[in-house]
Amino acid sequence: MSLHELAIKGIARYLIDDRLTGEPIHMHISAVAPSERSHPPHQHPGYEAFYIFEGQGTVELDGETSVLRAGEAIVFDSTRMHGLVNTGDQPLRYLVVLRP
């Protein structure tokens, strides 16, 4: 098997097949304190998904909002303006998956 390792936020060991061109799917784990966000609302090409491990967050998608709690997920078109803010009282820990 031909693999190489990448340094990815929140993941102890991230291996990718050497036969792949670039990184066709990216994932990382983020943690955000209560009332904080990892970055301002933004947009970019591709698709994106969030899976909530711990806490509660509010997803903003083109001005609309939806609350996500532990065990819940969302998949959306990331060309839409989007963001995620911790609206709970404990740290928000979540997986981000991006497909350009």
Q: 19-75, pLDDT tens digit by residue?
A: 998 889 999 999 999 999 988 999 999 999 999 999 999 999 999 999 999 999 999
Secondary structure class of 63 (helix, strand, coil): coil
Q: Which CATH architecture has domain 22-99?
A: Sandwich (2.60)
Domain segments of the chain: what residues? 22-99
The one-letter amino acid code at 93 reads: R
Say if CB 79 and CB 44 are below 8 A apart: yes
Q: Name the E strands within the chain.
A: 3-8, 11-17, 26-32, 47-54, 56-61, 64-69, 73-77, 82-86, 92-99
Total-model pTM: 0.92
Please report which confidence band the pLDDT of residue 98 belongs to, taking 50, 70 and 90 as the band edges. Answer: very high
Structure tokens at 63: 């001005």
Please report which confidence band the pLDDT of residue 1 belongs to, taking 50, 70 and 90 as the band edges. Answer: confident
